[in-house]
Structure 1
Amino acid sequence: MSIISAIIIGFIVGLIARAIMPGTQSMGFIMTTLLGVAGSFVGSYLGQAIGMYPAGSQAGWIASVVGALILLFIFGLVSKK
């Protein structure tokens, strides 16, 4: 996977996670993309590590969104003042 496709997929995953998560998240384009890329990495890595699905499976998208939701929740807890 190239870097550009990882960024595009990360942005899509970040947008989906922000749409699913209730409330407002004050994030820009770059933070949304970083959230999606990190969520994709976390979700895909954990799902493959515990043997839930093979690499390249459609379930990887679901795991990526779940990983991004987890990171978005953590980001919300940390950034609250």
Structure 2
Amino acid sequence: MILTILGWIVFGLIVGFIARALVPGKDNIGILRTILLGILGSVVGGLIVALFTGGLRSGAAFSPVSWIGSIVVAIILLVIYNKVTGRKGVRR
């Protein structure tokens, strides 16, 4: 159970950092929000991928399609978050 939680945190951190790197400008969201962004992007992205591929399969979380889906959804969530909160700064 602890390893599963740590796995989600690490995966969320990786996906969140990739999303932040791909969205132009400075994101003032911190490490905790980056992790939450990545986890939420992974969950929603995984559900969307499962809809198009016929369901959840063992090992599907490590497929390239799942990673891309997670990152794309995390980018969309980050853009929405920045628009709603107005927290987007200028990168210096």
Please say whether Structure 1 and Structure 2 have the same fold, judged by a TM-score greater than 0.5.
yes
More strand by share: 2
Q: Deviations over 1:34-54 (max 9, x none)?
A: 000000111111111132786
- Tell whether 2:31 aligns with 1:29: yes
Distance in 2 between residues matched to 1:40 and 1:20, nearest whole Å: 16
Of 41, 44, 47 in structure 2, the residue corresponding to residue 45 of structure 1 is: 47
User: 2:26 is paired with a residue of what secondary structure?
Assistant: coil
Residue of structure 2 equivalent to 1:14: 16
Q: What TM-score, normalized to structure 2?
A: 0.79
Q: State the percentage of identical aligned residues.
A: 40
Unaligned runs of 5+ in 2: 88-92
* Alpha-carbon distance change, 79 to 52 in structure 1, aligned in 2, over 3 angstroms: farther
Distance in 1 between the 2:25 and 2:54 partners? 30
- TM-score between the two structures when normalised by the length of structure 1: 0.89
2:76 counterpart of 1:70: yes
Task: Tell me which structure has the larger Cα radius of gyration.
Answer: 2
Q: Distance in 2 between matches of 1:73 and 1:80?
A: 10
Q: 1:52 to 1:63 in 2, by over 3 A?
A: farther
Work out the CA distance in 2 between the residues paired with 1:23 and 1:4. 29
Of stretches 43-52 and 3-12 in structure 1, the one that deviates more from structure 2 is: 43-52
Amino acid at match of 2:72: V
